[in-house]
Structure 1
Amino acid sequence: HNLDQAFFLVMGANIGTCIDAIMASIGTNAKGKRIALFHVLSSVIGSSAFTIILVIFKVPIVSSFERIFPGQPQFSLATYNLLYNTLYTLVLLLFLDPLVDLVTRLVKDKQDALEELLYIDERFLKTPAVAIEQSLLELNDMALLAKENIDRAMDSLINEDMSTRKTIDDVEHRIDFLTNKLTSFFIKISSVTKAPEDDKLIASLHHVTNDIERLGDYALQIARETSYMKKFDVKFLDQTKEEFKLIYQNISELFDLGFDAFSRQRTDNFEKISVLHQKIRDLTKSTRDEHVTRLSSGMYPVEVSKSIYSVLFSLQRIADHIVNIAFSIRSTTGSKKEALRAIESEKKESEAGEDELSLEYTMKS
């Protein structure tokens, strides 16, 4: 009389066997976790499907088993279990590819995550304008990754903490991956676009991609310098750390201004960018001079100079590349002089146009 309940227990027990796979997958790589998840999903899907069937057709199913195995519920259970596993496995084969794809998407390999494109796809090449728009989104993400990595590198340097070094290396790997993919994508866009303005923009984006990649490189350089200092027990004075922090505060502000100019194609903060860039140069020089003074007074051993100069060089180059990115909206190569000349030319053209309109209005009056 309770044969139907026993059938439900069989399906529940099949789901229960997944716990072994789950426990075994703990601490394994992505492939191990995918196998465990596949086991769980297939068991749950199979049990759910058969539960629905059993609920709807409970009476005829139970009656059939009782007729075939009268007074022998153990044979009924064994046969049901065999049929259940055989049928759901056969049905599962029909949906094997989508299920594998789902599991792969849900459990990503670390390398897969580092080498994943979020926005660009060759299908967009049919519409170059859309392809450019998508590449800008990918480029923006790449820039944020670079900035976050510089943040990590500077925190690591100031706090003498190497706990984020692995993350810095992984993010740098992703930045390099995106650089290669974006460069290739830009070349493909150039081959399909017919608009001259698109060609000019693509040329500019090539340079911007390279500048962002260099930001990541200098973050890695700072991290490597921190590793060197930890290895050889090289330490900075608190005064030097404060000077580095001040420089980097200004670089962070420069980053915000620079990428706001780039992403929104605005030139009104070019003057602020130029002033801030010069301020960073002055702070870098001041810190270098202060180091020489401390070195002369015996506050620092000579060995520290390598690390201080390396960090200062990296910070200055980071600022330079941010400025290149900002000015790329008016200069293909990101040249500050070229961009400012372009703006001056635009201003003169605008003023000339206004004068012509004013003259026409006066003549009509």
Structure 2
Amino acid sequence: MDIAFGLIGGLGLFLYGMNVMAAGLEKSAGDKLKRFIEILTSNRFMGVVVGALVTMVVQSSSATTVMVVGFVNAGVMKLTQAVGVIMGANIGTTITAQLVSINLTAIAPISVGIGVGIWLFTSNRKVKNFAEIIIGFGILFLGMDMMKHAVKPLRQYEGFTNLLLSFGQPNITDRVLAILTGFGITAIIQSSSATTGILIALASQGLLPIESAFPVILGTNIGTCVTAMISSIGANKTAKRAALVHLLFNVIGTVLFAILLAKPTIHFVTQWSDDPARQLANAHTLFNISNTLLLVWFVPLFVYAAKKIIPYDQNEERQIRGIKYIDDRILETPSIAIGQVSREVLHMGNVALESYKYSIEAFFKTDVKLAQETFKVEKIVNDMERQISSYLLKVSNTEISGKQREMIEGFFNTINDIERVGDHADNLAELAIYRVENKLDFSDKALEELRIMHERVEKSYREALTALRSADMQMAQRVIEREGEIDHMEKMLRANHISRLNKQQCIPGSGVIFLDIISNLERIADHSSNIALAVMDLNKK
């Protein structure tokens, strides 16, 4: 029991330290990660580099692959881009193994002490992030040391040592058993780095020679696919294909090395170092780099296979009106998640614009079907507001900067304004139906005035969305200034129409509808101005 408790406790510290260090790295490099994703092209080699760098930061190839599934699901990344990133993630995850294979136990307590000291006595956010990296680094090695001491007594158990030694036998049964062991442990722990840490702890105590450890390491690379496969449940077909490519890549690489390249790899690492822990870490790195270099040339074949296994659906590329860009899997990197929220808010704005256009056309064309379409789209706008609000709450509970928190507050206000635009479109559609059902006529002058005001309002709302997309301060200022003009226009049109009513140039029923329409149009202009003000406020800070 002492061995089990020691191993579990050490593994817990190891995983916690890795998470703390990864959180510090992500907060320090969050914006850089966003830029890495933005510069991605269909070039698979660039994808490999980005995948390796991102995984070095988040300290988990599983986390990177889950994020990639989220990116593909949200339309940030194409499948061909995703494959390169997935391959690079396998290289990036070897950094953890390289770190823990070096005996740095002596400096671990010092690292924790210095990190905590810095964290307590500074208010600078960047310095605190750096302190978290140091703290996580120290805790990781304390956990590693604890695992090493926990497994030390296992040398006395002949059955256990014989089992481990059998993994290195050349027969197929033992090799498959070793691969399945690596797969099973990694699937349960959900971290190939943690499994590798356990193996290095065993190797450092002389319990696991490289001949036995290498097939287990191969199995961990398949086990790490389980997280992404589970994550792809509920995602679109392209995201499922990304998770499938991850599995195909690791399975093919494992089979290739298990059958053909195991002996050359083991020979190379044993010539390079006499330390069993270093041999294991080097074998892990060599396998992942070599596997990527060998298979990166076959990315089109992986994509082709994934599309054959998960067939193309004609409805896949239909235009999406609802939520399109946000995905919980992207929350691992808050800076990227916030960028996706920005895209989703703009998408919501365009859906609301579609609702408004249907409603105003329904009035001018006296078309009830267009009004009914407005109601359908407006429900989508309401649903989008709920989902974006929920997502913003999730992002706000992650580790984000003060600037990012201000952006989230601005997004809350903006989606509320957009949702209100949808409500006014809904009102306009109801007025259009009322006009049709009651066969109300309007004078040419009244219709002309409504059309002129509508064109001003639509222009104002479109420019507000453009300012939101491009952070165009000048355009935002124009929207704000035009809002005053539209307010004046609404008062003038109201006075003109009351004059026509007094002169009996319009029937009372039409007059009420006219006044309700210009009131709704004026409110849409107000919300457009609010969106522009939010753009101005955020970019002034």
TM above 0.5, yes or no, is: yes
Q: Is 1:250 equivalent to 2:460 in the alignment?
A: no
Partner-residue secondary structure (3-state), 1:331: helix
Once residues 384 and 310 of structure 2 are traced to their aligned partners in structure 1, the CA distance between those partners, rounded to angstroms, is: 23
- Aligned counterpart for 1:309 among listed residues 495, 515, 525: 515
Deviation at 1:230, TM superposition (A): 1.2
Q: Is 1:212 equivalent to 2:418 in the alignment?
A: yes
Give the counterpart letter for 2:450 in structure 1: F
Once residues 272 and 236 of structure 1 are traced to their aligned partners in structure 2, the CA distance between those partners, rounded to angstroms, is: 32
Deviation at 1:224, TM superposition (A): 0.3
Deviation at 1:252, TM superposition (A): 2.1
Deviation at 1:153, TM superposition (A): 1.1
- Aligned counterpart for 1:280 among listed residues 480, 486, 495: 486
**Residues 217 and 102 of structure 1: is their aligned pair in 2 closer, same or farther, counting only changes over 3 Å?**
farther
Once residues 101 and 306 of structure 1 are traced to their aligned partners in structure 2, the CA distance between those partners, rounded to angstroms, is: 57
- Aligned counterpart for 1:326 among listed residues 526, 529, 532: 532
Once residues 99 and 286 of structure 1 are traced to their aligned partners in structure 2, the CA distance between those partners, rounded to angstroms, is: 64
- Matched positions, count: 234
Identity, in percent, stands at 22
Deviation at 1:275, TM superposition (A): 2.9
Once residues 355 and 400 of structure 2 are traced to their aligned partners in structure 1, the CA distance between those partners, rounded to angstroms, is: 37
Aligned to 2:401: 195
CA contact (8 A) 2:476 2:535 kept: no
Once residues 421 and 398 of structure 2 are traced to their aligned partners in structure 1, the CA distance between those partners, rounded to angstroms, is: 30
Partner-residue secondary structure (3-state), 1:276: helix
Partner-residue secondary structure (3-state), 1:187: helix
Q: Is 1:133 equivalent to 2:336 in the alignment?
A: no
Partner-residue secondary structure (3-state), 1:160: coil
Aligned to 1:240: 446
Aligned to 1:359: none
- Aligned counterpart for 1:156 among listed residues 354, 362, 367: 362
Gaps of 5+ in 2: 1-306
Once residues 364 and 489 of structure 2 are traced to their aligned partners in structure 1, the CA distance between those partners, rounded to angstroms, is: 17
Question: Residue by residue, what CA displacement relative to the aligned partner does 1:179-200 show, whole Å, maximum 9, x if unpaired?
Answer: 1100000000000033111111
**Residues 128 and 173 of structure 1: is their aligned pair in 2 closer, same or farther, counting only changes over 3 Å?**
same
Give the counterpart letter for 1:304 in structure 2: S
Partner-residue secondary structure (3-state), 2:372: helix
Q: Is 1:221 equivalent to 2:421 in the alignment?
A: no
Give the counterpart letter for 1:306 in structure 2: V
Q: What CA RMSD, in Å, does the superposition of the two structures yield over aligned residues?
A: 2.5
Partner-residue secondary structure (3-state), 1:233: coil
Give the counterpart letter for 1:144 in structure 2: N
Aligned to 2:329: 123
Q: Is 1:294 equivalent to 2:500 in the alignment?
A: yes
Deviation at 1:256, TM superposition (A): 3.0
> TM-score, normalised on structure 1?
0.59
Once residues 415 and 309 of structure 2 are traced to their aligned partners in structure 1, the CA distance between those partners, rounded to angstroms, is: 35
Once residues 99 and 238 of structure 1 are traced to their aligned partners in structure 2, the CA distance between those partners, rounded to angstroms, is: 60
Deviation at 1:204, TM superposition (A): 0.7
Give the counterpart letter for 2:495 in structure 1: D
Deviation at 1:263, TM superposition (A): 1.6
Question: Residue by residue, what CA displacement relative to the aligned partner does 1:148-174 show, whole Å, maximum 9, x if unpaired?
Answer: 221121111112122312321221121
CA contact (8 A) 1:179 1:210 kept: yes
Once residues 260 and 145 of structure 1 are traced to their aligned partners in structure 2, the CA distance between those partners, rounded to angstroms, is: 14
CA contact (8 A) 2:359 2:425 kept: yes
Aligned to 1:260: 466
CA contact (8 A) 1:251 1:319 kept: yes
**Residues 181 and 254 of structure 1: is their aligned pair in 2 closer, same or farther, counting only changes over 3 Å?**
same
Once residues 202 and 256 of structure 1 are traced to their aligned partners in structure 2, the CA distance between those partners, rounded to angstroms, is: 22
Give the counterpart letter for 1:268 in structure 2: Q
Once residues 120 and 186 of structure 1 are traced to their aligned partners in structure 2, the CA distance between those partners, rounded to angstroms, is: 10
Question: Residue by residue, what CA displacement relative to the aligned partner does 1:120-145 show, whole Å, maximum 9, x if unpaired?
Answer: 10011111111111111111111111
Aligned to 1:67: none
Deviation at 1:260, TM superposition (A): 2.2
Deviation at 1:176, TM superposition (A): 1.1
**Residues 262 and 117 of structure 1: is their aligned pair in 2 closer, same or farther, counting only changes over 3 Å?**
closer
Once residues 101 and 169 of structure 1 are traced to their aligned partners in structure 2, the CA distance between those partners, rounded to angstroms, is: 35
CA contact (8 A) 1:190 1:202 kept: yes
Structure 1 stretches of at least 4 aligned residues deviating more than 3 Å after TM superposition: 98-103, 105-108
Deviation at 1:113, TM superposition (A): 6.3
Deviation at 1:106, TM superposition (A): 4.5
Once residues 102 and 171 of structure 1 are traced to their aligned partners in structure 2, the CA distance between those partners, rounded to angstroms, is: 30
Once residues 283 and 297 of structure 1 are traced to their aligned partners in structure 2, the CA distance between those partners, rounded to angstroms, is: 21
Deviation at 1:101, TM superposition (A): 7.5
Once residues 193 and 329 of structure 1 are traced to their aligned partners in structure 2, the CA distance between those partners, rounded to angstroms, is: 23
Gaps of 5+ in 1: 1-97, 333-341, 347-365
Once residues 282 and 154 of structure 1 are traced to their aligned partners in structure 2, the CA distance between those partners, rounded to angstroms, is: 21
Once residues 279 and 99 of structure 1 are traced to their aligned partners in structure 2, the CA distance between those partners, rounded to angstroms, is: 58
CA contact (8 A) 2:477 2:532 kept: no
> TM-score, normalised on structure 2?
0.41
Deviation at 1:233, TM superposition (A): 1.8
Point out the more displaced range, 167-176 or 178-187: 167-176
Once residues 295 and 266 of structure 1 are traced to their aligned partners in structure 2, the CA distance between those partners, rounded to angstroms, is: 43
Question: Residue by residue, what CA displacement relative to the aligned partner does 1:273-305 show, whole Å, maximum 9, x if unpaired?
Answer: 233212211221111111111100011222223
CA contact (8 A) 2:334 2:398 kept: yes
Question: Residue by residue, what CA displacement relative to the aligned partner does 1:22-45 show, whole Å, maximum 9, x if unpaired?
Answer: xxxxxxxxxxxxxxxxxxxxxxxx
Aligned to 1:12: none
Q: Is 1:184 equivalent to 2:403 in the alignment?
A: no
Bigger Rg over Cα? 1
CA contact (8 A) 1:193 1:199 kept: no
Partner-residue secondary structure (3-state), 1:123: helix
CA contact (8 A) 2:359 2:426 kept: yes
Once residues 281 and 126 of structure 1 are traced to their aligned partners in structure 2, the CA distance between those partners, rounded to angstroms, is: 45
CA contact (8 A) 2:372 2:429 kept: no
Deviation at 1:220, TM superposition (A): 0.9
Give the counterpart letter for 1:274 in structure 2: I
